[in-house]
Structure 1
Amino acid sequence: MARVAALLGLLLLAALPARAQFLGGVDAAGLRALLAAQGGKVAVVNFWATWCGPCRVELPELVALRAAFTPQELFLAGVSLDFDPEAPALLAAQERPGYPFYLAGDDVPAAFGVGAIPHTMIWGPDGVLAVDHVGIMDRQGLIGAVSTLLGRPVPPGGAP
């Protein structure tokens, strides 16, 4: 019962308007449930860490992605692989990226095939994984992928 209540809490917090949030830890089952609850939206999960230089370079690209689509169209979450559980909360407070951060449970990297970061996975509105990208994704690639999955023309330069 406590696990169900915790999962419902995660789902409710993730549904809040996009703002800088650190929502705590998430295990593989919780992340799968969070993704399953996004039916009809494109879902983007970015695996990262505060100590990862390329991840920090990619952060503004993800902020631009969040700004380009409504919460009804796009679910975006950052899943930190930090060793220090305080690090993603501090970064969320400092940077205020506009989308929620979670701290990955020990089972998340293996369950989602994350061997290197940054690693971005994008699911279509049908829940099917469409993009599995290791390395920095630029704004044009991110916005283009989401636009395509939403059935829209890809905007020139990656901006809607």
Structure 2
Amino acid sequence: MAHATPQGPQLLHGFKRLTRFDKGLGAQLPEAYKKFWREWKLTTPAAVHYVPKTEGFERDELTGVVRPVQDIPIPLIDPPEANDGIWGGEAVIKGFQKRHPQKRRVPHFWIPTLRRSVVHSQVLNEYISMVVTDRTIDQIHDCRGFDHYLLKNLAC
């Protein structure tokens, strides 16, 4: 009768599963690194290349049939060149194009538009030249500076 005691729910659901940061060398790491790692690996990135649907079901306008929504993210390819600059969540998309209605579809890669731009870091008091996308520049302007962009956006 564990549910009759006051600590019953804690006994059932209160056991914390050990992670890589609870023992060994991981326990000695600073909290800032642990927070960064959790942001980088455990959070899901924002949808950049599609609009996610929030409802669980959708109705077809013509037939009126209700179907469940399958919100599957687009598979993205992160090339090694993405580490040389800041792409702002964008990546290479692999897919197919139907160029002519009566011919076969053709494989196609959609690549974001990359530009070399100069950003200013007020913390370092330096100008930094790097490869960015248009979305990254828009986000830097929305955050009112490169340093605030780095602090406000998640690592994933």
TM-score over 0.5 for the pair? no
State the TM-score, normalized to the length of structure 2: 0.24
Larger radius of gyration: 2
Bigger share in helix: 1
Instruction: Compare relative contact order (CA 8 Å, sep 6+) and give the higher one, 1 or 2.
Output: 1
TM-score by length of 1: 0.24
